[in-house]
A and B are shown apart, each in its own frame.
Chain A
Amino acid sequence: QSVLTQPPSVSGAPGQRVTISCTGSSSNIGAGYDVHWYQQLPGTAPKLLIYGNSNRPSGVPDRFSGSKSGTSASLAITGLQAEDEADYYCQSYDSSLSGSSVFGTGTKVTVL
């Protein structure tokens, strides 16, 4: 049972904007720990998409952006494209689970 909750699915038409929430608690996101986001295309390993709440690694399009507030974080995809159809996971650290990284429950993004 993950301590970071995401919506199971979100969808949008090409060109639209979608957002994915990642809801935590006072022992993880709310404690100030950074949130990172990963994209997992079908049949492949996860790929780092956003680190440190809002930073994009080299090569990640600026259509992807991240934010954090209180006990939650969000990933936004603007100008949705067909190749964005994938699973997305948030990740943080939880102080109640010694040494533990924790992942969100995951969100499937469908491009209509």
Chain B
Amino acid sequence: EVQLVESGGGLVKPGGSLRLSCAASGFTFSSYSMNWVRQAPGKGLEWVSSISSSSSYIYYADSVKGRFTISRDNAKNSLYLQMNSLRAEDTAVYYCARDDSEWGYFDYWGQGTLVTVSS
């Protein structure tokens, strides 16, 4: 059974940093691109970042470019999101999602981890 479990969320002050993790199991993690998608309270889904299976290709939404860094450790079956210079508008539930690289859809999602940026 495919499982994605996010962790690392919490309360952080504006300008602060946080590192999210996503532990994957039940599939060959090193064969899939992965993504972070966020959802602000009461709002819609926003794609944040993606990373290819071997980390060769990395992309970011303009809203987080230069502040967030996506990475992965295939030996540990883990995906990460380093978030720096956090702003109030980064407050959201952050989901990791597996990418079907051929079609571009997200077939499995984690349960999400809440990041709150507030003083």
Contact = CB atoms under 8 A, between A and B. Distances in A.
Interface of A: 2, 33-34, 36, 38, 40, 44-48, 51-52, 57, 87, 89, 91-93, 97-106
A100 B61 contact: yes
B41 to A, nearest CB: 12
Interface stretch (B16-24, B82-90, B97-105): B97-105
Given A46-B95, A99-B59, A51 B100 contact: yes
Interface of B: 35, 37, 44-47, 50, 57, 59-62, 95, 100, 103-107, 109-112
A15 B104 CA distance: 32
Given A46-B95, A100-B59, A89 B109 contact: no
Nearest to B99: A101
Secondary structure class of chain A's binding surface, majority of residues: strand
A45 B50 contact: no
Contacts of B60: 99
Contacts of A104: 44
17 contacts: A36-B104, A38-B45, A45-B110, A46-B106, A48-B106, A51-B105, A87-B44, A89-B45, A93-B104, A99-B59, A99-B60, A100-B47, A100-B59, A101-B35, A102-B47, A103-B46, A103-B47
B105 A89 contact: no
Contacts of B57: 99
